[in-house]
Amino acid sequence: MMHDRFRLDGRGVAVVGAGSGIGEAVARACARQGASVACLDLDGDAAARVAGSISEWAAGGAHPAAHPLAVDIVDGAATRRALDEARQRLGRLDAVVCTPSINVRKPILSYMDEELDRVVRVNVHGNFHVLQAAGRLLTAQRSGSIVLFSSIRSQVVEPGQAVYAATKAAIVQMVRTAAAEFAPLGVRVNAVGPGVVETPLTAPIKANAEWYDAYARKNALQRWATPDEMAWPTVFLLSDAASYITGTCLFVDGGWLAVDGRFVPPGMGS
């Protein structure tokens, strides 16, 4: 029987941000595809909850258990230790996914220095720490895959999104550079660029019906995504099915970028 190149059987995957939202969905999807999963999160209790539910689902079957770890990716040394421990607990480490980011929605003229520092620390420093720590481990073994999370905001912006958008563009450039540096050592590096996804980060938007509906109308599919719809493209990038893909950002945006800024003249709508 031909090997299913979309499967992750026998592999160890560390998912940073696995305590909720997209990260949780990615951790569950990797487990469903046969991977052993380390669930890492700033909230150790949330990581333990997700890992426990994956292990409970896997109990008695052929699927491996999951392992929880607490980590603050703003701390580079702690990030290195956490990924080292993830590899030890899993017995091997073949892939690392990093999903966390934060956003402070404010006009440029209203931004405070501490807000700027906070967003950049998590979104740029934090993601760089994961990329660097994962890169050291995977390039040393000359195999593996890394996926970071960017956004449509790396390409298009709106008022109040200057800093967040800049950090998401930075992630794309970090991924491209790492892909160039790590490829000779057998490691692929890519990004996923979500559109609007229902997660804890976007909960304030969902609470405002007018805002929520306006965002839904901005993409071609006319709706928000679920975290699962970000998870499966991530699994694809980790799998052998994506063996010739590195240095790219896979936009999973419901067609947002294809129709961004669209204007439908009167009488031209469907």
Q: What's the one-letter identity of residue 93?
A: L
Does the structure show a pLDDT above 90 at 61?
no
**Mean of all residue pLDDT scores within the chain:** 94
Does the structure show a pLDDT above 80 at 94?
yes
pLDDT range class, residue 260, cuts 50, 70, 90: confident
**Average pLDDT for residues 21-29, to the nearest whole number?**
98
**Average pLDDT for residues 116-120, to the nearest whole number?**
98
In this predicted structure, what is the pLDDT of residue 173? 98
In this predicted structure, what is the pLDDT of residue 62? 52
pLDDT range class, residue 127, cuts 50, 70, 90: very high
CA distance 92 to 70: 19
Q: Is 68 a member of any domain? A: yes
Helix (H, G, I), strand (E, B) or coil at 78: helix
pLDDT range class, residue 203, cuts 50, 70, 90: confident
- Please say whether the dihedral angle defined by the alpha carbons of residues 73, 77, 78 and 84, taken in this order, is positive or negative: positive
Helix (H, G, I), strand (E, B) or coil at 28: helix
The percentage of the chain sitting over the pLDDT mark of 90, rounded to a whole number, equals: 87
Helix (H, G, I), strand (E, B) or coil at 75: coil
Does the structure show a pLDDT above 90 at 150?
yes
Q: Is 31 a member of any domain? A: yes
Q: Is 223 a member of any domain? A: yes
Distances (CA, A) of 220 to 54, 217, 257, 258: 34, 8, 9, 8
Does the structure show a pLDDT above 90 at 204?
no
Does the structure show a pLDDT above 70 at 161?
yes
In this predicted structure, what is the pLDDT of residue 263? 66
Q: Is 262 a member of any domain? A: no
Does the structure show a pLDDT above 70 at 142?
yes
In this predicted structure, what is the pLDDT of residue 1? 41
Q: Is 40 a member of any domain? A: yes
The percentage of the chain sitting over the pLDDT mark of 70, rounded to a whole number, equals: 94
Q: Is 142 a member of any domain? A: yes
Sheet strand arrangement including 187-194: 66-70, 36-41, 12-16, 95-98, 144-149, 187-194, 249-252
Yes or no: say if 66 and 55 are a contact pair by the CB < 8 Å rule.
yes
pLDDT range class, residue 38, cuts 50, 70, 90: very high
pTM more than 0.85 = yes
Number of domains in the chain: 1
Yes or no: say if 42 and 48 are a contact pair by the CB < 8 Å rule.
no
Min mean pLDDT across 88-97, 141-150, 196-205, 260-269 is at 260-269
Yes or no: say if 189 and 247 are a contact pair by the CB < 8 Å rule.
yes
pLDDT range class, residue 65, cuts 50, 70, 90: confident
**Average pLDDT for residues 95-123, to the nearest whole number?**
97
| Active site amino acids | 164
Q: Is 43 a member of any domain? A: yes
| Domain CATH number, residue 82 | 3.40.50.720
What is the extent of the structural domain holding 213? 12-253
Q: Is 3 a member of any domain? A: no
Q: What's the one-letter identity of residue 55?
A: S
Min mean pLDDT across 88-97, 172-181, 213-222 is at 213-222
